[in-house]
Amino acid sequence: MDKNRLEAFSDGVIAIIITIMVLELKVPHGSELADLRPLIPVFLSYVLSFVYVGIYWNNHHHLLHTISHVTGGVLWANLHLLFWLSLVPFTTGWMGENHFSAVPLALYGFVLLMCAFAWWVLQTRMVAMQGRQSPLALAVGRDLKGKISSVLYLVGIVSAFFNGHFSEAVYVLAAVLWLVPDRRFEKATHAG
């Protein structure tokens, strides 16, 4: 199958995910700046999640440009990733509405961890499809950044029950780690 169909479908799903998240930002019932204060946690959770979804969209774009076609395994792996990404609006809303309390904060981290796992599965399926000496396989290498971010999500999940601010900081740190597009995939695109 041509990769363009997979990319268009994924882009559409990700656009809907972002739209659902922004719809959680409810308009306040007053006209003063102070009326925005209760929305600060919801807005902050939206910003963090927007950055995460944007990171996945950006890296997904670069990842797909390292291949010329997709297999059934890649299609299912991509759907697996989209499933976990589609839960981001729910956990974002729950976390923001409850002012980053322990259980919503931990669930948010769990969804981030599962998105990372689903990304790894997709990446692994693509490498298997192309072979261990493909530009993508060489670019992925040991995937240190992926391993570090997964450990950070686990730390964030556990720390949510002991120190919510630390947990939030860990999630922000993991996002900052990925904020710059993954140049490994850009290099693989030009090598292939």
β partners of residue 35: none
Rg (CA), the chain: 18
| Helix, strand or coil, per DSSP, at residue 99 | coil
Domain ranges (residues) in the chain: 3-191
* Alpha helices for the chain (secondary structure H): 3-23, 40-64, 72-86, 88-97, 102-130, 135-140, 144-159, 164-179, 183-191
- Please state, in angstroms and rounded to a whole number, the distance separating the CA atoms of residues 84 and 75: 15
pLDDT tens, residue by residue, 84-93? 999 999 999 9
Global confidence as pTM: 0.92
pLDDT tens, residue by residue, 138-183? 878 788 889 999 999 999 999 999 999 999 999 999 999 998 766 6
